[in-house]
Structure 1
Amino acid sequence: MRIIAIANQKGGVGKTTVTMNLAAVAHEAGSRVLVVDVDPQASAEFWATQAEQGAGIPFDLTTSTDPAQLASMRDLPYDVILVDTPGSLEAEDVLTTVLQNADFVILPTEPTPLALGPVVRTVRQVIAPSGVDYRVLLNKVDPRTPADASDAAGLLDQTGLKRFRAFIRTYKVHTLAPLEGKVVTQYPHDQRTLRAVEDFRKVNSELLTQFANEKVAS
């Protein structure tokens, strides 16, 4: 089992979108997946509730901020557990509890200089001291200006932070998905949505490679 926290102490970076859609492609790849929503805003729970009016989401979801319950996550019958964490400095205690039980952290960030500052702070002040491995994920990349991702990747590399090679482009369908209760593997099939799901498949592929390399090294 792998417990993966989706974290960034800056709000609005797309943590819930990353959580839900990575859960979808992990399920598509054959994993038993659980999403745990520990964010007081409960965006993932809202998304799942909207999905109940249609086909539903293809994985399990629960909510909890109880440290005892979070500590027992590893006893659950899943291959992958994705934890959507709070996007604020005030909820650092919840994030710390999640990190005590996590194997890996994904930190979504927008590809702008102002957005990179908070993710650097989160890594250096919270993630690095925990000792949990991590990767920064460039999210909300404008598909019309792919150079934005390259520029942001260069800035991240200068800070020494570890990052995914893949990145997530922003499409209107991602914005509408929570209201429609759909995850990326349920989007209508057209050229744009196929590119959207491929972005998340690439991230999941990097994760699987990372975990496989860890297993070999151990």
Structure 2
Amino acid sequence: MATSHGLGWPPVPGVAPGGAASVPIRAGARWSGVGWPSPAAGPASPHAAAPPAAAPISPVWSPPTVALVSRETDTTVHRHGAHPAPAPSTTSTAPVVSRETDATAAATQFPAPGKVSSPEALPRPRTRRVVAVANQKGGVGKTTTTVNVAAALAQQGQRVVVLDLDPQGNASTALGIAHPAGTPSIYEAVIEGRPLHEVVQPVPGIPTLSCAPATVDLAGAEIELVAMVARESRLRRALAAYREPVDYVLLDCPPSLGLLTVNALVAAEEVLIPIQCEYYALEGLGQLVGSIDLVKEHLNPDLWISTILLTMYDGRTRLAAQVADEVRAHFGDKVLATAVPRSVRISEAPSYGQTVMTYDPASSGALCYRRAARELATQVGEEHSDDGHHRDRLLSSAAADS
């Protein structure tokens, strides 16, 4: 019969505490707790009933399937394996409603990039439209607006080129264009006079969208421009020599009013100003408008502010509504009716080398940028098409510079 010296066991009658005690244990006795035998581990009795058989223990423990719910769309994502088939409902067949868009979610999987069904095509402008997306304040959504409006226009049948003039190269990244040092870029076109068609690259997944990327070389471009003749017109000359069929050229300006931004304002005919719906975003707006007026007076008489786009709008705050009201009161019908809200999907998309238009086309951000692009093409485009000789003046002024 097996014995065990109990460490922390109950005292045995007749044995002094701390004394050596030998307690008989039945062979095969089960243990409960740490160092304590189960009640069945006492001395064997010929009259004791046999202990009940222990329940079999599974050798592998499998955790239950846990469903994760997306904050953006209420789409259920299962942690283990593929999506299981939906269980038949015995109570209700109500559709799942997206928390992000308040619209019925047609499917849990969004189309892959390049497979998005194209919305109704927009009418092409009579002449090429060159739009500078500018605001000297950083973090207001310039690059986000540039790439998403460009993608939305391209998805609606327009031929679009994005020129990345920000040395950070964020627009290039968001459009899926690799731009390491040594890549043919907008730097070569502006500083070295390389033809623009040699640096423009197609954007993956969107056939009618192209981009001239920015590299780290662009960080020193403003210093080099200082010593150049006609330094403010270098980009305008490069664009005038670009003969590819294009409907829109969007210029993503750096967050400053330096020579790269001045080059963009001289090359453009229109300015699109994204304004974040916060108080600080209004402080530098007067300085930007003053700079645009100076360029218009001395370098580019055709320049005008065509569009104001409210970004990062949060309808839950009174401040956002106040800023929107002030901007609309000052700029009138130049402010698009569409305001782009804060969106997790818009922030996530660049990390995958995509715009929100392909990353999550059903999200609120994608829907708003699509509407904003349509407003830009139709409402603003009507004013633009009233005067069809913009491009002729652009070419003639560029020829005079050369």
1:6 pairs with 125, 133, 146, which one?
133
CA shift, 1:118, in A, is 1.2
Letter in 2 for 1:201: R
2:213 pairs with 63, 80, 88, which one?
63
> Does the C-alpha gap of structure 1 residues 181 and 157 become closer, same or farther in structure 2, counting only changes over 3 Å?
same
Equivalent-residue separation in structure 2 for 1:26 and 1:215 (angstroms): 17
Equivalent-residue separation in structure 2 for 1:49 and 1:204 (angstroms): 20
* Residue aligning to 1:27: 154
Which structure has more relative contact order (CA 8 Å, sep 6+)? It is: 1
CA shift, 1:70, in A, is 4.3
1:215 pairs with 357, 381, 385, which one?
385
Alignment of 1:147-158 (within 5 A): 148-158=319-329
- Residue 367 (structure 2) pairs with residue 202 (structure 1): no
CA shift, 1:6, in A, is 0.6
Question: Percent of counterpart pairs with the same letter?
Answer: 27
> Does the C-alpha gap of structure 1 residues 133 and 118 become closer, same or farther in structure 2, counting only changes over 3 Å?
same
Contact 1:38 1:83 in 2 (8 A): yes
Letter in 1 for 2:158: S
Structure 1 stretch 176-185 or stretch 65-74: which is displaced more?
Answer: 65-74
Alignment of 1:1-218 (within 5 A): 1-49=128-176, 56-58=204-206, 59-63=209-213, 68-74=234-240, 75-77=242-244, 78-89=246-257, 92-123=258-289, 125-131=290-296, 132-134=303-305, 135-145=307-317, 148-160=319-331, 162-188=334-360, 190=362, 193=363, 195-208=364-377, 209-216=379-386
Equivalent-residue separation in structure 2 for 1:115 and 1:47 (angstroms): 23
The DSSP-based 3-state class of the residue aligned with 2:294 is helix
Equivalent-residue separation in structure 2 for 1:61 and 1:99 (angstroms): 18
> Does the C-alpha gap of structure 1 residues 35 and 160 become closer, same or farther in structure 2, counting only changes over 3 Å?
closer
| Structure of larger gyration radius | 2
> Does the C-alpha gap of structure 1 residues 48 and 116 become closer, same or farther in structure 2, counting only changes over 3 Å?
same
Equivalent-residue separation in structure 2 for 1:44 and 1:26 (angstroms): 16
Once the two structures are superposed, residues 47-85 of structure 1 have per-residue CA deviations (whole angstroms, 9 ceiling, x without a partner) of: 234789xx9352211136675354222434211111100
Unaligned ranges ≥5, structure 1: none
Letter in 1 for 2:248: V
Letter in 1 for 2:149: L
Equivalent-residue separation in structure 1 for 2:328 and 2:380 (angstroms): 18
CA shift, 1:148, in A, is 4.6
Once the two structures are superposed, residues 68-113 of structure 1 have per-residue CA deviations (whole angstroms, 9 ceiling, x without a partner) of: 3542224342111111001024xx2111111111011111121112
Alignment length, in residue pairs? 209
Equivalent-residue separation in structure 2 for 1:189 and 1:156 (angstroms): 28
Contact 1:51 1:57 in 2 (8 A): no
> Does the C-alpha gap of structure 1 residues 169 and 11 become closer, same or farther in structure 2, counting only changes over 3 Å?
same
> Does the C-alpha gap of structure 1 residues 69 and 157 become closer, same or farther in structure 2, counting only changes over 3 Å?
closer
CA RMSD, Structure 1 to Structure 2 (Å): 2.5
Unaligned ranges ≥5, structure 2: 1-127, 180-202, 222-232, 297-302, 389-402
The DSSP-based 3-state class of the residue aligned with 1:3 is strand
The DSSP-based 3-state class of the residue aligned with 1:140 is strand
The DSSP-based 3-state class of the residue aligned with 1:106 is strand
